[in-house]
């Protein structure tokens, strides 16, 4: 087992990793910016190292400082967490070149999957159904012909992208020709790569992903699916499992395709295959070559500590007992609590009780800095079924108290109370229908 781990991240995911390190007897070292000097993960870790000023480019994206911190603190391995450098192949390569273990897939795998066009081509070669698309990069001179073949509406996507950046929807040729140069500029600004491609745009699909663990030797285990359909501007708000959008037959087929893809890639670590479900079919969208924010949903249903599994796989211990087929049980849901402004949390009380989990780095007196992601807490519940889970989540959100900064908690409660969500008859347009159309 890895004996000393550097955590190259912040916030609730850093706290999450530190907790597993404690249970496994692994020394934890967390890096931080000056803005996070007084944060909970800095106090919880066995050791903390300041790597730069508040802006992420000078701290959490400062690869030389992070590698130097890992080497000087005598760590065996580096865990990238989520966001920042988690899917950066050059960072993974720098970690291994420094003689350290990167807790995640090989740099070559991240390179392949980070290019959405190449990832689609790989999935297609394995007969995994993909959303109808351009098959390659487009520009102002080729986009119209590709869209004519695909069929409108289409969505323009950044090949190196994610998180909704560089995306534009076009419902006719005029919109397409106006949007392509904008999408290319956004992609260049966000990812230093202006390559874009086209996919058919489904107006209101479901977004379902399969959580996988793999050991790099072809052994892959699925921890079931998560439904991430409730989104705002392509950012997930609520995740639940199992998904009400899948029949038993579709679930089995989707899971089989995801496992086959990871086996072919000789994938190592935790990762997720994302699909769109529309018109009675499912379509491959992309692979997230890292642990995801919503991984606790799968932990609650499978009983598997995904962070511990990552560390064991990175240590060369393989899947161990998780190599046996996992049968997820019950129901689980996560609501993401986002801060709507920077400031000081003057009062904080997390929810608790039977079947409730709250992953957070917040506490009374904590700062919400303006420099990073707005996620400040993840409220999770487990239950025997969805009806029980909805009641429990409403109770948990009602108990959550965050004072001093505005959050989206009340918005989450409104979603839970909406008839369309409770009936399960919705797609990715749910947020717009509930909030934006009323304005």
> Domain 4-103, CATH 3.30.70.1400 — does that match?
no
pLDDT at 193 over 70: yes
Contact residues for 19 (Cβ-Cβ < 8 A; gap 6+): none
Please give the structure tokens belonging to residue 161.
């992208």
- Encoding tokens for residue 378? 């993840």
Residue 360: phi, psi to the nearest 5? -160, 165
- Class of the domain covering 132-200: alpha beta
Query: Is pLDDT at 419 greater than 70 in this prediction?
Result: yes
pLDDT of residue 197: 96
pLDDT of residue 120: 93
Q: What is the mean pLDDT of the chain?
A: 95
> Once rounded to an integer, what is the mean pLDDT over residues 8-29?
98
**pLDDT tens digits for range 73-131:** 999 999 999 999 999 999 999 999 999 999 999 999 999 998 999 999 999 999 999 99
Beta-carbon contacts of 240 under 8 Å, excluding residues fewer than 6 positions away, are 226, 227, 297, 331, 332, 333, 334, 386, 389
Using CA atoms, how far apart are residues 92 and 74, in angstroms rounded to an integer? 18
**What pLDDT is recorded for position 234?**
86
Does residue 375 surpass a pLDDT of 60?
Answer: yes
pLDDT of residue 323: 60
pLDDT for residue 238 is more than 90: yes
Beta strand 27-33 with 47-52: parallel, antiparallel or unpaired?
Answer: parallel
Rounded Cα–Cα distance for residues 30 and 14 (Å): 7
Give the mean pLDDT of 284-288.
94
Q: Answer whether 0.75 is exceeded by the pTM.
A: yes
pLDDT band at 342 (very low <50, low <70, confident <90, very high): very high
Cα angle 39-45-48, degrees, rounded to a multiple of 5:
70
The confidence score (pLDDT) of residue 191 equals 86
Cβ proximity of 372 and 11 under 8 Å = yes
Task: Give the tens place of pLDDT for each residue, 140-177.
Answer: 999 999 999 999 999 999 998 776 778 999 999 999 99
- Which residues face 359 on adjacent strands? 378
Task: Tell me the domain boundaries of the chain.
Answer: 4-103, 132-200, 206-436
Q: What was the pLDDT predicted at 10?
A: 98
Is the C-alpha dihedral spanning 206, 159, 151, 171 positive or negative? positive
pLDDT at 322 > cutoff 70: no
Pull the structure tokens for residue 9: 């991240």
- Segment 23-62, tens digit of pLDDT: 999 999 999 999 999 999 999 999 999 999 999 999 999 9
Rounded CA-CA distance 254/251 in Å is 5
Residue 2 has pLDDT above 60, yes or no: yes
Percent of residues, the chain, with pLDDT higher than 90 = 92
Is 325 a residue whose pLDDT tops 80? no
3-state SS of 149-218? HHCCCEEEEECCCCCCCCCEEECCHHHHHHHHHHHHHHHHHHHCCCCEEEEECCCCCEEEEEEEEEECCC
CATH class of 206-436: alpha beta
Q: Quickly state the pLDDT bin for 135 (edges 50, 70, 90).
A: confident
How many CB atoms sit inside 10 A of residue 182's CB?
12
pLDDT of residue 326: 85
pLDDT of 439 higher than 60: no
Pseudo-torsion of CA 377, 238, 408, 205, nearest 10°?
Answer: 150
d(Cα 352, Cα 381) in Å, to the nearest integer? Answer: 10
CA-to-CA distance for 19 and 308, rounded, in angstroms? 10
Q: Count how many Cα atoms sit within 13 Å of the Cα of residue 160 in the half-sphere of its side chain.
A: 15
Asked if residues 402 and 345 have their Cβ atoms less than 8 Å apart, the reply is yes
Q: Measuring CA to CA, how many Å separate 395 from each of 102, 349, 367, 379, 390?
A: 40, 14, 26, 11, 9
Q: Is pLDDT above 90 for 20?
A: yes
For range 347-376, the mean pLDDT? 97
Do the Cβ atoms of 381 and 332 come closer than 8 Å? yes
When comparing pLDDT for 381 and 135, which is higher?
381
Evaluate whether 209 touches 229 at the Cβ level (below 8 Å): no
pLDDT band at 183 (very low <50, low <70, confident <90, very high): very high
Q: Which residues are catalytic?
A: 290
Give the residue with greater pLDDT, 258 vs 190.
Answer: 258
Chain centroid to CA 375: how far? 12
């Amino acid at each position: 087992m890895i004996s000393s781990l550097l955590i190259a991240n912040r916030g609730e995911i850093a706290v999450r990793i530190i907790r597993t390190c404690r249970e496994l007897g692994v020394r934890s070292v967390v890096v931080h910016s000056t803005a996070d000097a007084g944060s909970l993960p800095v106090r919880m870790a066995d050791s903390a190292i300041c790597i730069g000023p508040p802006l992420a480019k000078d701290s959490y994206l400062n690869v030389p400082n992070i590698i130097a911190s890992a080497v000087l603190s005598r760590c065996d391995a580096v865990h990238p967490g989520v966001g920042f450098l988690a899917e950066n192949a050059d960072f993974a390569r720098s970690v291994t070149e420094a003689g350290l273990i990167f807790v995640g897939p090989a740099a070559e795998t991240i390179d392949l999957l980070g290019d959405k066009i190449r990832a689609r081509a790989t999935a297609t070669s394995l007969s995994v159904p993909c959303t109808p698309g351009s098959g390659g990069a487009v520009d102002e001179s080729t986009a119209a012909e590709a869209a004519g073949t695909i069929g409108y509406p289409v969505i323009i996507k950044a090949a190196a992208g994610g998180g909704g950046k560089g995306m534009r929807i076009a419902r006719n040729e005029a919109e397409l020709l106006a949007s392509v140069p904008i999408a290319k500029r956004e992609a260049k600004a966000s990812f230093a790569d202006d390559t874009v491609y086209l996919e058919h745009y489904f107006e209101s699909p479901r977004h379902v992903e399969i959580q996988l663990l793999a050991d790099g030797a072809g052994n892959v285990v699925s921890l079931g699916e998560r439904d991430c359909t409730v989104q705002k501007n392509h950012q997930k708000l609520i995740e639940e499992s199992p998904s009400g959008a899948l029949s038993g037959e579709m679930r089995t087929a989707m899971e089989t395709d995801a496992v086959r893809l990871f086996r072919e890639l000789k994938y190592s670590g935790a990762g997720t295959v994302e699909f769109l479900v529309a018109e009675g079919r499912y379509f491959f969208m992309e692979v997230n070559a890292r642990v995801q924010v919503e991984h606790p949903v799968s932990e609650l249903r499978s009983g598997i500590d995904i962070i511990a599994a990552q560390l064991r796989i990175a240590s060369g211990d393989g899947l161990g007992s998780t190599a046996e087929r996992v049968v997820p049980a019950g129901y689980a849901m996560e609501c993401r609590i986002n801060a709507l402004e920077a400031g000081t949390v003057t009062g904080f009380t997390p929810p608790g009780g039977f079947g409730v989990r709250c992953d957070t780095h917040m506490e009374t007196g904590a700062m919400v800095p303006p420099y990073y992601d707005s996620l400040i807490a993840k409220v999770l519940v487990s239950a025997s079924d969805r009806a029980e889970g909805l009641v429990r989540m409403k109770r948990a959100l009602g108990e959550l108290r965050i004072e001093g900064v505005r959050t989206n908690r009340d918005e989450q409660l409104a979603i839970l109370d909406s008839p369309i969500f409770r009936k399960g008859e919705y797609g990715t347009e749910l947020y717009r229908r509930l909030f934006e159309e009323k304005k």
